[in-house]
Structure 1
Amino acid sequence: MTKIAIITGGLSGMGLATARRLHAEGITVCIGARRGDDPAAVAALHAALGAPVMVAALDVRSTDSVNAFVASVVAAHGPVDILINTAGVYEESAVIDHPDAMWDATIDTNLTGTFKMIRAVMPAMKARGWGRIVNLASVAAHQGMANNAAYCASKAGLLGLGRCVSLEGAAYGVTCVSISPTWVETEMLKQFIDQEIADTGAERAVVRAKYEASNPQGALVQPAEIAGLIAFLVSDAGRAITMEDIQVNAGSLW
């Protein structure tokens, strides 16, 4: 039977690439995003996929929003088989004088939001004896970065969360895996490049080359590469891969 997948934050970047890949493989894709009720964003998504899929507003920080979104997916398509948590935010600040609002927004979105999504879909997965959960972590879950306490803490927290989910789901055919990429050529990275160009006046090729040189392969990871890995992990072939964090680091330790 056709599998039902939820992708959070699926309007861009690795979430969009994953939506494209899973849709191509015949999986029913349902996307939840903060801009999920923006007609322009939805139209752009459908154009990118070449087909209409379910898209709705979702704020993973809100229990009510999470529960309402999952309920709408179940009502429209049936129980959720696959959950891909790619929704995330990134802001920088030193620990000293770190704003509470920035810390709360990062932890609530990247970590707590992932927890709330898992909590909402896992009971039905256990009841049916099959489920796949993939959390998008980061190399920052393993390596510290100055001025990134909130982001690093949120991504490291996903590893601990995933271990617990894996243990609770193992006897019921439910797996939980995290993926920790290095720099991926997403809209977020392009914004970083644009900001550095604006701040320094450096040429785009020079700034991009700096990011490329941050790993021994000398090339940025592409969203489609992450999507390909996710497609394998959520397949039947990924049954025995759980409680694992897969670093897609291109040889980089940051």
Structure 2
Amino acid sequence: MTGGLSGIGRAIAQRFVDDGMIVYVGARRGNDPAFQENLRTTFGKSISVRALDVRRSDSVATFVDAIVETHGKVDVLVNAAGVYEEAAVIDHPDSMWHETIDTNLTGTFKMIRAVMPLMMTAKWGRIINIASVAAHQGMARNAAYCASKAGLLGLGRCVSLEGADHGITCNSISPTWVETEMLQQFIEHDMQRLGQSRVEARATYEASNPQGKLVQPDEIAGLASFLASDAARAMTMADYQVNAGSLW
């Protein structure tokens, strides 16, 4: 899986380990000894961390080849690596656009392209892309992010059709605000910008959905666990919104 060092990705990694799976996490900081030790302490020997930059085809190939060399196959791919930055369309920096699309969308494509031949040979595979309600709804100052997540839905439909005869499913999960490290950064930014207390800033995000509660990472992980199972054989070409009733 990609992006398993924090937030939703880390929660999915934990759930997969609890399910008895051997998990390989790829991240740009994957060679950092501190991160490797942290994950080993948390998850034990069932998880390995390696350097991976999903924007680079050579890095993707090296990561997948290393897994095949040690494990022999790839059963499940979770694409959770992602970046988020805000900018208005007018004067939107090219660099921000390219970074967002290359990581969130093109990186996902490159990972799928690398593992699909392995899954086809095995006649079994599960591909899960972490999208967002932003794939369905627009939001001012989020053109790059919304475009990248919407692209995942189209990519997933094509992958599911090409994988159907080979026992491969491809689905996406589209959460609303999830209580992750990234959201905590947004809350701290709002505290400084608006002079709010942490409770006040957090309440704004909680009130963004009718349930009045933030989605938790392990709720996303529970759905990912099911989609990765044999029980989800007929579930493909779908996007599952975990939105607590909200549009964002």
- Fold match, TM over 0.5? yes
Which of 4, 13, 21 is residue 10 of structure 1 equivalent to?
4
Instruction: For residue 20 of structure 2, give the secondary structure of its aligned residue in structure 1.
Output: coil
Post-superposition CA distance 1:196-251 (Å, at most 9, x none) = 11222210000000000000000000000000100000000010000000000000
- Aligned AA (2:233): R
Query: Aligned residue for 1:92?
Result: 86
- Aligned AA (1:136): I
Q: Does 1:26 find its partner at 2:15?
A: no
Equivalent positions of 1:152-167 (< 5 A) are 152-167=146-161
Which of 169, 172, 176 is residue 178 of structure 1 equivalent to?
172
Q: Does 1:66 find its partner at 2:57?
A: no
Query: Aligned residue for 2:134?
Result: 140
- Superposition deviation, residue 127 in structure 1: 1.4
Alignment TM-score, normalising by the size of structure 1: 0.96
Which of 225, 239, 249 is residue 219 of structure 2 equivalent to?
225
- Aligned AA (2:74): V
- Aligned AA (2:87): S
Which of 112, 125, 131 is residue 125 of structure 2 equivalent to?
131
> How many percent of aligned residue pairs carry the same amino acid?
68
Query: Aligned residue for 1:3?
Result: none
Counterpart CA distance in 2 for 1:225 and 1:51 is 24
- Superposition deviation, residue 133 in structure 1: 0.1
Instruction: For residue 84 of structure 1, give the secondary structure of its aligned residue in structure 2.
Output: strand
- Superposition deviation, residue 46 in structure 1: 2.0
- Superposition deviation, residue 51 in structure 1: 4.1
Q: Does 1:192 find its partner at 2:186?
A: yes
Counterpart CA distance in 2 for 1:192 and 1:185 is 11
Query: Aligned residue for 1:121?
Result: 115
Which of 199, 204, 211 is residue 205 of structure 2 equivalent to?
211
- Superposition deviation, residue 47 in structure 1: 2.3
- Superposition deviation, residue 48 in structure 1: 2.5
Counterpart CA distance in 1 for 2:39 and 2:202 is 26
Counterpart CA distance in 2 for 1:39 and 1:52 is 17
- Aligned AA (1:199): R
Q: Do the aligned partners of 2:21 and 2:46 also contact (CA within 8 Å) in 1?
A: no
Instruction: For residue 22 of structure 1, give the secondary structure of its aligned residue in structure 2.
Output: helix
> Structure 2, unaligned stretches of length 5 or more?
none
Deviates most, 174-183 or 50-59 = 50-59
Q: Does 1:102 find its partner at 2:87?
A: no
